[in-house]
Amino acid sequence: MQPSLGQLNPHPELELLLKLGQMQLQVLVLLKPPMLLGLKLRLANLLLMDH
């Protein structure tokens, strides 16, 4: 992680969440589709609640 990330991005925690989400999706691609679908729905709910 670069220390300058917070200066460039007004929402560093959002950037971190996006990176974590991408990592989780990469892991879940290896799992069963129903689990992936469930996570997609959960991520969508989190994003909708955030906005």
pLDDT-derived band at 49 (thresholds 50, 70, 90) equals: confident
Residues 1-34 pLDDT 10s: 555 544 566 777 888 888 888 877 777 666 666 7
Q: How far apart are CA 25 and CA 40, in angstroms?
A: 9
CA–CA separation, 12 and 27 (whole Å): 23
State the pTM of this model. 0.32
Task: Give the whole-angstrom CA distance, residue 18 versus residue 26.
Answer: 12
Q: What is the pLDDT of residue 7?
A: 57
For the chain, the structural domain boundaries read 5-50
Mean pLDDT, all residues of the chain: 73
**pLDDT above 80 for 41:** yes
Triad 28, 44, 5: Cα angle to 5°: 80
